[in-house]
């Protein structure tokens, strides 16, 4: 799942680290993991008037729907809750999604999540670090075929709530 601020930043600034992460999502370079609660956050934030530069509310919803409908996006329904982030309890929903989706990484700009560094085998990293890792990833197939590495099941979420 893409951190909401990474997703929005990727849409707004096409020459940025978040845009490169978003491009990798669209090209199937990793397996994005999302859950209904975080999709709701994406929709809510993207609908804000300050993002009208991306088009009408309907166009923004269609844009989001398009990337979520890609066949390599995995929707999970977390069964267990965690309480690792006390400063912003909503950040725990990101971790629940990552755990349920067996993500190798959580990519975020959220300082509370970044301070954790990792949860079990799940690394919590910035979009810059993810961009560098994706750039070095060599697929044996076309760039339109995702690499099937567990480390690239990525939960990219939280922040802007």
Return the CATH number at 13: 3.40.50
Number of residues that make up the chain: 161
pTM for this model (two decimals): 0.78
Strands (E), the chain: 31-34, 74-75, 105-107, 118-119, 122-125, 153-155
What is the domain count for the chain? 1
Closest by CA to 153, choosing from 90, 106, 91, is 106
Q: Which domain holds residue 143?
A: 4-155
Please check whether residue 161 lies inside any domain of the structure.
no
Please check whether residue 54 lies inside any domain of the structure.
yes
Over residues 41-60, the pLDDT tens digits come to 999 999 999 999 999 999 99
Q: Are strands 74-75 and 118-119 parallel, antiparallel or unpaired?
A: unpaired
Please check whether residue 160 lies inside any domain of the structure.
no
Over residues 61-83, the pLDDT tens digits come to 999 999 999 999 999 999 999 99
């Amino acid at each position: 799942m893409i951190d909401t601020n990474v997703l929005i930043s990727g849409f707004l600034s096409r020459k940025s680290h978040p845009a490169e992460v978003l491009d990798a999502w669209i090209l199937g370079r990793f397996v994005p993991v999302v859950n209904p609660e975080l999709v709701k956050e994406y929709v809510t934030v993207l609908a804000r008037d300050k993002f009208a530069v991306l088009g009408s509310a309907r166009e923004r919803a269609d844009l989001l729907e398009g990337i979520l409908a890609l066949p390599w996006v995995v929707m999970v329904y977390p069964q267990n809750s965690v309480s690792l982030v006390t400063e912003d309890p909503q950040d725990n929903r990101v971790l629940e999604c990552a755990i349920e989706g067996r993500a190798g990484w959580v990519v975020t700009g959220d300082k509370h999540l970044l301070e954790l560094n990792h949860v079990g085998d799940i690394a919590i990293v910035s979009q810059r670090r993810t961009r560098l890792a994706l750039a070095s990833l060599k697929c044996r197939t076309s760039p339109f075929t995702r690499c099937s590495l567990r480390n690239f099941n990525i939960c990219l979420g939280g922040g802007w709530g």
